[in-house]
Amino acid sequence: MDKASAVMELNPTPPFYKAPFHMYSNLKKNKSLLKNLVSRDFKVTYYGHALGYFWSLLEPLALTAIFFLVFVILRGEADTLLPLKIMIGILIFTTFSKTLSSCTSCLVTNSSLIQQVYFPREIFPTAISGFRLVNLCLSTLIIFPYMLYEGLPLTKHMILLPMSMIFSIMMAQGLGMMTAAIQVRVRDTKQVIDLILRAAFFLSGVFFGAEHIPPEHLDTFLLNPIAVFIEMARAAVLGDMSLLTWGQILRSISLAVIAFIIGSMIFVKSERKAVKFL
Amino acid sequence: MTNEPAIVLENVVLDFPVTKTGPAFLKEVFTGRMGKRRKDKYYRAVNQVNLEIKQGEVFGIIGPNGAGKSTLLRMMAGIYAPDKGSLKVRGRVSLLAGLGAGFQRNLTGRENISLSGSIYGISKDQLHQLIPSIIVFSGIGDFIDQPLRTYSSGMRARLAFSIASHLSPEVLLIDEVLAVGDSAFREKSKNKIMEMVKGEATVVIVSHNAAILREICDRVVCLDRGKISLLSSDVNAVIQRYRDLSEQR
């Protein structure tokens, strides 16, 4: 009763440097809501599907089959691992781009809810990331039978796979939290973001990899953190990280963490003003 | 009712932006008129409001359309943060406005109860205990495991109201939701609201219904263009002021 017996400032704005901690404690307090929103996204996405959640698995599987047909059978590509490499690239990149794109529009798509009930709005982008992470985990399951088929052993490099998944989503959420409030004011933002993502698709080595880049340009190519995350996932599965250095990995992870921290600061501060434009 | 305050507003101001879109917005950006007078870019929805609502009090808000009633209520719920002044609240707040927050038409009634309940801030354990009672109160019966899109609008409203009536906040904010469903359910829901109103909770209610305000409110405030026009425990005097203001329009 002690704590409740005082009249308290309603949702005070935290100082800038405290925003990430503020966000963390808000998310912790609302854990069950977060869980419910993630499971809602799953149920709504796969509603009325005979195969339901299986599509998270079937889609990359079918994609790989198509690449196998096109590259290995039709074009006679000698590298039978190429479909696997491309599939990994696609999984990491589409997760990144879908997370960023939906985080950008999260305040707009939830506008009716925002005007009806108050709960910390950090929950929206975080629920999106949660949904994307679970979906990605399901999709990556198909990597293992492929590895078995190709006789690839599980190595200690496997640790790079979850790292790549988590930090690429973290980076996408961080960037999305920076743009979410702008999207409320200027709805063109999402179009611009989607175009940038389209360009980034070709710069991040989804259909090719570090192995196809001339050695003198490799360092430049790996300045792009998304390219590094994709290469990390490939290195994990192939058990070979000769094209990557830990320095590049650390740099990309730091960039993701910094993007997340700055994103949370911007989001927590701008969200209060932005909701008035909804 | 005690003398302890439950909601305290001091010089609360809220400005809504006058939004320009498309070409008008671009013109504003390129002609550099962005930073011009604040008055042109905003309208003041809530203007210097001072209020102190006591614990356990039933407080009514009335006023002509566009007076800022709903905005003030949403501020108390935390949806809009004040631009100036301070707003303090004791305990957990629930806003009943536009029922059925977060309803998904393709989820079943039961799934929607969990989702909507957690959006309203009911904890998982509490929700687990409340679900049977929510289902019984709504009177939906076997339909509860059917997707929401198969419901009639009345059934949907009943389910939504049933969830809202199971919230047990310290501060309850009501925005004209006294009539849902068919006549039997309307009676039931009115009784339930009365039960909530007469309980421990502090209640703030926005309504145009003079009879209801007269019946339940300890004090009523009449708002006009974001400002307090009259605040009194003499409910009839406030209602008279509201009628005068409406006629002037």
Please name the residue of chain B whose CA is at the shortest distance from the CA of residue A9: B88
User: Is residue B124 within 8 angstroms of chain A, CB to CB?
Assistant: yes
In this prediction, residue B34 carries a pLDDT of 57
| Lowest-confidence region among A106-115, A119-128, B23-32, B66-75 | B23-32
pLDDT confidence tier of residue A4, bands split at 50, 70 and 90: very low
Could you give the CA distance from residue A188 to residue A211 in angstroms, rounded to a whole number? 37
What local confidence, expressed as pLDDT, does residue A67 receive?
A: 84
Q: Do the Cβ atoms of A117 and B7 come within 8 Å? A: no
Average pLDDT over residues A53-72: 85
Contact yes or no for A7 and B8 at CB 8 A: yes
pTM comes to 0.90
Q: Which residues contact A143 (CB under 8 A, 6 or more apart)?
A: A84, A87, A88, A237
- The average pLDDT across B154-173 equals 88
Please check whether residue A132 is in contact with residue A98, taking contact to mean a CB–CB distance below 8 angstroms: yes
Task: Please report which confidence band the pLDDT of residue B102 belongs to, taking 50, 70 and 90 as the band edges.
Answer: confident
pLDDT of residue A2: 42
Residue A140: the pLDDT is 92
* ipTM attached to this prediction: 0.88
A109 to chain B: nearest residue by CA?
Answer: B102
Q: CB pairs under 8 A, 24+ apart, for A195-200?
A: A197/A97, A197/A100, A197/A101, A200/A93, A200/A97, A200/A224, A200/A226
Structure tokens, B227:
């400002």
Mutating which of B119, B145, B174 best tests the A interface, going by the most A Cβ atoms within 10 A? B119
Domain ranges of chain A: 52-277
**Range in A3-17, B18-32, B233-247 with the lowest mean pLDDT:** B18-32
Average pLDDT over residues A233-247: 92
Each residue's pLDDT tens digit, A89-117: 999 999 999 999 999 999 999 998 999 89
CB-count burial class (<10 Å; 0-12, 13-18, 19+) for A207: middle
Give the integer Cα–Cα distance in Å for B109 and B161.
13
Stretch A20-26: mean pLDDT, rounded? Answer: 92
B4/A117 Cβ within 8 A: no
The two tokens of residue A263 are: 């994103």
A263 three-state secondary structure: helix
Residue B40's pLDDT is 66
A17 in contact with B, Cβ within 8 Å: no
What domains are there in chain B, each with its CATH number?
Answer: 5-92+206-248 (3.40.50.300)
For residue B210, the one-letter residue type is A
B19 to chain A, any CB pair closer than 8 A? The answer is: yes
Select the more confidently predicted residue: B220 or B184. B220
Contact residues on chain A for B93, CB-CB shorter than 8 A: 10, 118
Q: Closest CB to B120: pick one of A13, A117, A272.
A: A117
Cβ neighbours of A43 in B, within 8 Å: 104, 106-107, 111
- Residue in chain A nearest B95 by alpha carbon: A117
Residue in A5, A10, A43 to test binding to B, most B beta-carbons within 10 Å: A10
Model pLDDT, residue B223: 93
Q: Does A107 touch chain B (CB under 8 A)?
A: no
The answer, yes or no, to whether residue A1 has pLDDT greater than 60, is no
A3 pLDDT more than 50: no
| pLDDT tens column, B173-204 | 988 766 666 778 888 888 888 888 888 889 99
Supply A244's token pair: 């990557």
Q: In b/e form, how buried is each residue of B82-119, taking b as 16+ CB within 10 angstroms?
A: bbeeebbbbbebbbbbebbbbbbeebbbbbbbbbbbbb
The reply to whether B17 touches chain A by the CB within 8 Å rule is yes
- Which of residues 114 through 133 in chain A touch B, CB cutoff 8 A? 114-119
pLDDT band (50, 70, 90) for residue A262? very high
DSSP H helical ranges for chain B? 22-30, 38-41, 69-77, 109-119, 124-138, 153-165, 183-198, 210-216, 235-248
Mean local confidence (pLDDT), B101-119: 91
